[in-house]
Amino acid sequence: MTEKEKMAAGMIYDANYDPQLIAERLECKELCRDYNDLRPKDADGRKSMLHRILGGIAGEILIEQPFYCDYGYNIKVGENFYANYNLVILDEAAVTFGDNVFVAPNCGFYTAGHPIDPAERNKGLEYARPITVGNNVWIGAGVQVLPGVTIGDNCVIGAGSVVVRDIPADSVAVGNPCKVVK
């Protein structure tokens, strides 16, 4: 099994030293740099670049620059997606956004995790768990979403939250760790 296949299967894999994964991340970094260097008024160029970077776009999309991701091809967005400045998506596993998702500035979605054992971690090993964000979700400024989390439909995640576990549909959740308050 290749390291990429292990990554896709949710197994422990070599992220730091595998030539294929390194090359794919470098290619994506080049595309993100090209995207981030585009003039803000170049709406067509920005959309075109996002279609080159991301794995799936269902409709209207706007990601303010700068934007960073690791592979791009694991990210899928629904209709009417908007993300403000400084979006970071570590997409070692699938990151799926539903329709009408709005992401405030300085947010991160991180599918990658590392072993607790330092000897394993120091070998460059990691694992990846998917992140799913439902429809009609608003993610407040500075929110960090960790591996394996699902955020249900019609949720609001308050600014500064660290989402470490699933948030059920129709919830308002805030805090570190993020908890449902309504």
- Positions annotated as catalytic residues are 114
* 148: number of Cβ within 10 Å: 18
Report which of 27, 66, 26, 29 is spatially closest to residue 46, judged by C-alpha positions: 66
d(C-alpha 158, C-alpha 140), whole Å: 5
165 — phi, psi (to 5°)?
A: -145, 165
Beta-sheet strand order (sheet of 87-90): 67-69, 87-90, 108-110, 144-145, 162-163
Report which of 66, 61, 58 is spatially closest to residue 34, judged by C-alpha positions: 66
d(C-alpha 105, C-alpha 57), whole Å: 20
Half-sphere exposure of 28 (CA within 13 A, CB side): 23
Q: Residue type for 120, please?
A: E
